[in-house]
Structure 1
């Protein structure tokens, strides 16, 4: 097996895959479409972060590819449907960097509320400005969280521990943590929050969700944070509300257009604004988070290739069936139509193969079956399974 890991994935990921017998190549940067297609020749496992786009065109020209690991939370950079149609499993790390993002958000809330950026700039310029004007405690202030997933919920708990009153808005039904209160509408949240922070996902429907209309509804003197996706915020409108004094400050970690690699020039209309914190998409970039992500996603890739396990896959049905010594396993991904399991088992019977263990799960238009057999399969069995019109992909795993 060959693996290609891009964008400085943590070294532990490569170590895990190598220990599983893979030949691993690593690169410290993202690859463009044509470059990625060329690099994927003969590669079964691809590891990326947020910059590499795995498009349908890439997948069309990567027949050897079996799995993609997104060593991050988001997977909008991967054509998930196209990957599923080709039998390519996609995994991510939905929890591993949650704490790191939450801690950065809390640090920025405190820094902006105390106007530390302004005081710091003044000191470096030689200005001693000892004053309490416009500096506040976060205790007693209201925090509005837009997007109450893993990050939003954990931020809710820690902010409440600091003495903040927490409100949240989410389009899905979410259980409130602690004393957090759900807002029926986004407008309701904006009207009450001293600090507004975005933690929404990368779905296309969130593009441009926060612009002039939403900034105008925020309370005078409030603070805005975006540590989610760059394309959800209108930066021109944000700049206007900072310059007018309507907003007291902002922190932005993600941008509509970001440099492809470390060291490239960064351009944004938010540069040079007072009491605005700009960070280079580092919400989850702590050594602890990156190590945990590297280990988690690499483990998912290893398991999928060795035993067919798809637990926590973002695009395939979820199955986990422990391998027992002395058994052989066949994995069958297929169109989710009636009668497929019966056909599979009929073919096994025709080839005089007894089933020792079997699991089936479905997800949308796909079904997935793991079948354990006591003896190595006859050579013609895989050909028969592959020839079924419903088959997407069939693999001999052990």
Structure 2
């Protein structure tokens, strides 16, 4: 039976999925581990689950002597060396959709609070002032929301914003079908100039580094609000501070930062701290009980589907093969170099070893090929080693 190790206090919903599938050997850790402690913890585990703080690089992989599959119980996979795991024949799964609603609700809540100047009003009351002025306070209804990145989260933000009576524009580098009454805006500069609230929902990486820089901030409508709940690297923080200090922007809300504290007692280092028109939250956009439970279930179900059937639908680094029930009692999972003749050589080797192929599913991606093979009888270890010895074979496991 597979041994499962879960780090960083993954929601109990994941264990419920594993238990329902018959997996009982589950070791949990309340936080991320590093160094030798992490090396010791991963030994003997065939299924490993992490969140965003566990750095799973080649050195950790080298110590993961039984690893078959890795689950990231979060959206991002920046903490994982995907190339190293691919070359080791280990698929990686994440949860790209499960916290969509939570992030969307936070973004809209922050937009309303900043439009009404609530952070500033709240602070003034705590300080002993009773400022009832309506100056600078606005309704969301009738305002224009500009969304940069119209994916799963961005599109849901737009749909919910329309229910508040907002006009929705969006800009995306890929062609996206508008939902409800949202309007595509190919010209980012025009959208920035029209939007009362701009919200970012883009991936990290060099293509999006500091896309909101001094020039983009200058192009924004005077008195507008900026919200970033995507990646910390997409906003130039010093330029944002300058835009807020000058009064060009009326407010901002950030849930992500270029450099984030590593623990609860470590303060955020940012020039935005202390500004009354800025909401700063500790990367909690997806941190609701509902989203964490959804993430636990979604990733655990993907891990179980791979462990039991070899399905890789939704893997971020691997050829995708959907679930299919085995047509026999024996299934081989074969990962190989994506090169001419690799599969035909494998099939010939199986035939030479006296194994009959009952059914076969093949998919490739980049340098990898992945094939599920249902065969008519259980091969012995010598037969498996013969298959693994082929130069094109990266990994061959038996279900």
> In which range does the TM-score fall when normalised by the shorter chain?
over 0.9
- Report the TM-score when normalising by structure 1: 0.95
| Structure-2 separation of matches of 1:259 and 1:27 | 20
> Shift of the alpha carbon at 1:15?
3.2
- Report the TM-score when normalising by structure 2: 0.95
Structure 1 residues 22 and 82, CA, compared in 2 at 3 Å: closer, same or farther?
Answer: farther
| Structure-1 separation of matches of 2:59 and 2:266 | 27
Match of 1:271 in 2: 273
Q: Is the Cα–Cα contact under 8 Å of residues 351 and 378 in structure 1 kept in the other structure?
A: no
Match of 2:9 in 1: 8
Match of 2:109 in 1: 107
Q: Deviations over 1:224-279 (max 9, x none)?
A: 00000112211111111111111101100011222223344333221110121111
Q: Is the Cα–Cα contact under 8 Å of residues 190 and 214 in structure 1 kept in the other structure?
A: yes
Gaps of 5+ in 2: none
| Structure-2 separation of matches of 1:324 and 1:90 | 22
Q: Deviations over 1:172-206 (max 9, x none)?
A: 11111122222223222211111111111123332
1:226-265 alignment runs, 5 A limit: 226-265=228-267
Structure 1 residues 4 and 264, CA, compared in 2 at 3 Å: closer, same or farther?
Answer: farther
> Shift of the alpha carbon at 1:39?
2.5
Q: Deviations over 1:312-336 (max 9, x none)?
A: 0011111134334751110001111
2:168 pairs with one of 147, 166, 169: 166
| Structure-2 separation of matches of 1:165 and 1:367 | 46
| Structure-2 separation of matches of 1:82 and 1:23 | 26
| Structure-1 separation of matches of 2:228 and 2:207 | 17
1:100-249 alignment runs, 5 A limit: 100-249=102-251
Match of 1:344 in 2: 346
| Structure-1 separation of matches of 2:396 and 2:341 | 17
| Structure-1 separation of matches of 2:91 and 2:35 | 20
| Structure-2 separation of matches of 1:353 and 1:233 | 57
| Structure-2 separation of matches of 1:270 and 1:234 | 12
Q: Deviations over 1:97-124 (max 9, x none)?
A: 0000000001001010011111111111
> Shift of the alpha carbon at 1:63?
3.3
| Structure-2 separation of matches of 1:55 and 1:192 | 44
Q: Alpha carbon RMSD of aligned pairs, Å?
A: 1.7
Q: Deviations over 1:261-306 (max 9, x none)?
A: 3344333221110121111111001101100100110111122122
Residue 60 of structure 1 aligns to a residue whose secondary structure is helix
Residue 18 of structure 2 aligns to a residue whose secondary structure is helix
> Which segment drifts farther, 302-311 or 374-383?
374-383
Q: Is the Cα–Cα contact under 8 Å of residues 30 and 260 in structure 1 kept in the other structure?
A: no
Q: Deviations over 1:328-375 (max 9, x none)?
A: 110001111122221222122112222222111111111110011232
| Structure-2 separation of matches of 1:202 and 1:235 | 16
Gaps of 5+ in 1: none
